[in-house]
Structure 1
Amino acid sequence: MLKRSLLALAAATLALLAGCGDTRVASQPSPTPKQDNKARIEAVKADCMKGKGFRYTAFVMEGTFLSPDQEKAASGDYAAMKAHRSKWGFNVFSNLVYHQETETIDRSGPDPNVMIKRDLSPAQQKAYGKALKACQAQAIKQITGKSVKSEQDWFEQVDKLVEQREKRELDGDPRLVELASAMADCMAAKGYQAAAKNPINMETWGQLTFMKELHELARKEGGRDIPPYTSTGPWYQPTHLPDADARRYLAKEVKMALDDLECGKDFYAAYLPKSVQVAQAAQAEFGMDPD
């Protein structure tokens, strides 16, 4: 899986680009201590923007960008994972084959602040963006005690915290270590060789294997200065791969993804729910919406 907070950022960006709706600013009740940090951050941000002379509506996305079946798959449900992988594999070459399709749904509704900003002149939009950046940093600091320089820095700090806790709580879990080792042995018997048997690697190695393959195809196309593949990115995909070739690669990916699932059935059922808990706990500390 890609880092969850970065996926959330991508989803939020798409929502902002597509946003439209009522531009009226509704009055926002002050959040109670029981409300989540994200709502409290938005309330502080709205007050800060008002103090700088800008309209801003406290807005928290609701719902999820995952379909019900995707949510089941993310929780380690075997049937849901098998149905997903039978078509999408590890979600790599499927991006080329099914690029006109989408499995995600948006139940969050439009962000009214998109239209508020669009109504401003170019100069005002620039000032609005600068003010919003400052207000967001101020709100996050006030509510969570965390210091962030920008939205990108916000997400990067969360990713770093998630990574630290995953190494401790997932790779350090004796039961997960046992299940991951058994999964690796099963895959080896099928002719696959994972670089390492630790839980985090066993959850990601299949997808990273095909991401590397896709990246190398992009490098062979030439015409662009593409660096060698690394697991930490960035990674590229080819722009002129024939559909027949993309489908051939996807068929190979699907087969491996299904073998991976059969060997890791017990592993994923234990690993994925705990992985989600670790990520959500880190996100909550920074006042970020859980993915």
Structure 2
Amino acid sequence: MFKRSTLAVTMLCAVTLAGCSSSPEAQPAKTTTASGKSDKPQQIQSLMADCMKQKGFRYVAWVPQPKPETDNDKAANGDYEAMKRVRSKQGFNVFFTVADPAAMRKQAAYTRDDDPNTPIRDALSKAQLRSYDKVLDGCHVKALKDVTGKVVKSMDDEYEQYEKAFKAAFERELNGDPELVELAATMADCVKGKGYRVDSVSPTSMEERGFQEFSAQMNAIAKKQGLVDEGADENTIYPPKLSQAAANQYLAKEIKAALDDLECGKDFYPAFFPKLGRIADRLDSEFGHWKL
């Protein structure tokens, strides 16, 4: 299974979200390099490594290095030609996950094997890992406050605060943006004219519409196969078991829909994604997250 959430893609992986208690008088540390570039993620990682060492555990400070820009990166910024190339192969990135899972894995910003802490964790027993994660969670909480001034109780609390801030920014800066509202309404008329369902014309709903439609189709198939957990939340996607031929057929339909959606949104997406990116950059800096 996997989840698709615009809010979640910029969160740190669970392994590195943790921390130690912090004193009330602690002040945020300096968060820029000599060049003026934000260095919060590296500072948080370094403080976590020191904290873990003091607690008797090994942890390697690690921030993934940026990879060369790809068509997917350009598409995420609203580049029409890049979006067309990506969608011509991947659609909305739903059935592509089962039609070509190897290609999906290659697109990841980093994998579990890239993290130098993976072999450290893998060498621990279940009981040791529980202790390790508890201490790591505390060390992250302390490091986050020391570097950013953010006060959180745990990794889960940090995610909830981040998600709340992101949703508020979405409503205010995307769904409340007059230009995007007008462009989304025009796009919706075009999409409906091509025979596709539109439940909401808000900018964020129009951006997610295609993915949500085909995710629902995928989950319906997986549910018939008994692969969907009871009580699964709406953002969880369960890949069904499909033959290569069947997966390709579903993907072909999705690609057509994704290209139709793109043509209808050729004015909307170049306006929407840069504004979304600015929100993500601002909140990532505020919470000390690295940019994936």
Matched residue count: 271
The residue that corresponds to 2:77 in the other structure is: 75
Structure 1 residue ranges without an equivalent (≥5)? 16-30
Contact 2:11 2:289 in 1 (8 A): no
Given the superposition, is the C-alpha separation of residues 254 and 123 from structure 1 closer, same or farther in structure 2, using an over 3 Å criterion?
closer
> Which position in structure 2 is the counterpart of 1:99?
101
Paired residue for 1:190, among 185, 189, 194?
A: 194
Query: Partner of 1:50 in structure 2?
Result: 53
Q: Which deviates the most, 275-284 or 53-62?
A: 53-62
Does residue 163 in structure 1 map to residue 167 in structure 2?
Answer: yes
Against the structure 1 CA distance between its residues 198 and 48, is the aligned structure 2 distance closer, same or farther, given a 3 Å change threshold? same
The match for 1:146 among 145, 150, 156 is: 150
User: Quick one: distance in 2 between partners of 1:158 and 1:78?
Assistant: 30
Listed one character per residue, the Cα deviations across residues 30-89 of structure 1 (whole Å, up to 9, x for unaligned) are: x8541422122122222222322333332222214x851111111111111001101110
1:22 aligns with: none
The verdict on how the C-alpha distance between 1:61 and 1:267 changes in structure 2, with shifts beyond 3 A counting, is same
Task: Tell me which residue corresponds to 1:20.
Answer: none
Residue in 1 aligned with 2:252?
251
Q: Which amino acid aligns with 1:145?
A: G
Q: Which deviates more from structure 2 when the two are superposed, residues 214-223 or residues 168-177?
A: 214-223
Q: Distance in 1 between matches of 2:215 and 2:78?
A: 22
The code of the aligned residue for 2:237 comes to W
Q: How does 1:130-279 map to 2 (within 5 A)?
A: 130-222=134-226, 226=230, 232-239=234-241, 241-279=242-280
Distance 1:57 1:221, change over 3 A: closer
Does the CA contact (< 8 Å) of 1:39 and 1:60 recur in 2? Answer: yes
Instruction: Indicate the SS of the match to 1:265.
Output: coil
Counterpart for residue 34 of structure 1? 32
CA RMSD of aligned residues (A): 2.9
Distance 1:42 1:79, change over 3 A: same
**Could you tell me which residue of structure 1 aligns to residue 24 of structure 2?**
none
1:234 corresponds to which letter in structure 2?
Answer: T
TM-score, structure 2 normalization: 0.81
Query: Structure 2, unaligned stretches of length 5 or more?
Result: 17-28, 34-38
d(CA) in 1 for partners of 2:88, 2:15: 27
> What code does the residue aligned with 2:287 have?
F
In structure 1, what residue type is equivalent to 2:32? K
Q: Which has the higher contact order (CA 8 A, sep 6+)?
A: 2
Q: Tell me if structure 2 keeps the 8 A contact 1:39–1:59.
A: yes
Runs of 4+ in 1 over 6 A off after TM superposition: none
